Structure 1
């Protein structure tokens, strides 16, 4: 049997990200990449119609027809398996992967005003973060990066300079001497997040 492209067996070990109703934007980016990698995104994006086979079709026409039908079915199945059972009950009657994708997008993405409010809330949360007494610098930075990534997914950039400044301002007294030596050796605007982490 002839094989083309990447063998499906190697891709099937990667599982689709599961959407449970939270953080739609991050899930949508991951899911689109997953479906592109599985060669299923076309069925979601284009929602193409599969024409009926002509009378006395050739082997190539039969193969092409079967491939198009199968791709649509796999895309739908993939989306069904990538959502929680609660969301599945809302989409199970949808006819195509395209319809499912659009329904989830309309239901969970929110309009620009809602996205703007989410960004503002996340920015406030970012600014309020303080390092806890029992927390390592890495744990604190991981918390900040997690919030920054949520903001980025919503389309607002949080550059590494802002993260570095937040870390340098918010870390506790126990690391102030290290910060002072770091600030003395480099211009503050040139310090990378990785350098702060390794120094601390």
Structure 2
């Protein structure tokens, strides 16, 4: 089957690392990468060559021009002016690499900075597992684009060791059922994402439970040991102290209205049948009950 790969992305001065990967694949698809990698001249024809040998030699000689055409068409006009003086495709490739990737010393410094950023990464409380994994992979991909080999097992170890405490139960279950050194990053992230979604769904179904748990957590140790009936009694006392009435004409107290006074002259005690007080404050209540 014939296969014609699509043209590569035109490089305009940004995202050079991405363009390099795409252009390399494009040249490999056309069997032209060896020209840039080796830059070797094809062997000379022997005496009395056949037609097939002549055709093959002609194709090998044309590969340099084809590779140069791919590079020139894969960059913008501004970038083309920087390589138009190059005669060989490898020369043009190295010139772009030196200008947009820097020297070997510069790339080493970039690798040191990226590795430091990778080691200092930690998951925040406000981040989801998807956001955190994307942030890690951004740094890892930049390291790989520079040319450094970065294993996936190292990325998985980084995710596991820097997760929040709420994922500990899931990590423990994975350790019991799987070998974490052989698990892929996508499988780990999907498992943690499923746990995160289940928790989010439960909080949406029972928002009051989540609010109470948060309030209980925020109260701290200062509320530990207090009994609820003690708090209610203290509150009722404070509220009672706030309710002040004019002095009662019957008992001179300010805790009630005159119509609610227990010592009204028109009220009759049900215990001793006398006027001027209620049964609750009757002095003869015990005697009447004994009789």
Length-normalised TM-score, structure 1: 0.69
Q: Distance in 1 between matches of 2:83 and 2:187?
A: 47
* Root-mean-square deviation (Å): 3.7
Aligned to 1:182: 174
Aligned to 1:11: 4
Among candidates 52, 70, 73, match of residue 78 of structure 1:
70
Deviations 1:61-106 (A, max 9, x none): 7745653454333211110122244322211232232321232233
Higher Rg: 2
Aligned to 1:129: 121
Aligned to 1:67: 59
User: Kindly tell me: are residues 42 and 127 of structure 1, through their superposed partners in 2, closer, same or farther at Cα, counting changes over 3 Å?
Assistant: closer
Is residue 2:137 matched to residue 1:151? no
Is residue 2:113 matched to residue 1:97? no
Runs of at least 5 residues in structure 2 that lack an aligned partner in the other structure:
193-291
Aligned to 1:46: 39
Aligned to 2:80: 88
Runs of at least 5 residues in structure 1 that lack an aligned partner in the other structure:
1-5, 52-56
Aligned to 1:169: 161
SS class of match (2:59): helix
SS class of match (1:11): coil
Q: Distance in 2 between matches of 1:152 and 1:177?
A: 32
Q: Distance in 1 between matches of 2:82 and 2:42?
A: 24
Q: Distance in 1 between matches of 2:31 and 2:156?
A: 39
| Greater alpha carbon shift after TM alignment, 99-108 vs 126-135 | 126-135
| Greater alpha carbon shift after TM alignment, 167-176 vs 119-128 | 167-176
| Greater alpha carbon shift after TM alignment, 68-77 vs 58-67 | 58-67
User: Kindly tell me: are residues 21 and 136 of structure 1, through their superposed partners in 2, closer, same or farther at Cα, counting changes over 3 Å?
Assistant: same
The number of residues matched between the two structures is: 189
Q: Distance in 1 between matches of 2:101 and 2:59?
A: 31
Q: Distance in 2 between matches of 1:198 and 1:188?
A: 14
Contact 2:39 2:90 in 1 (8 A): yes
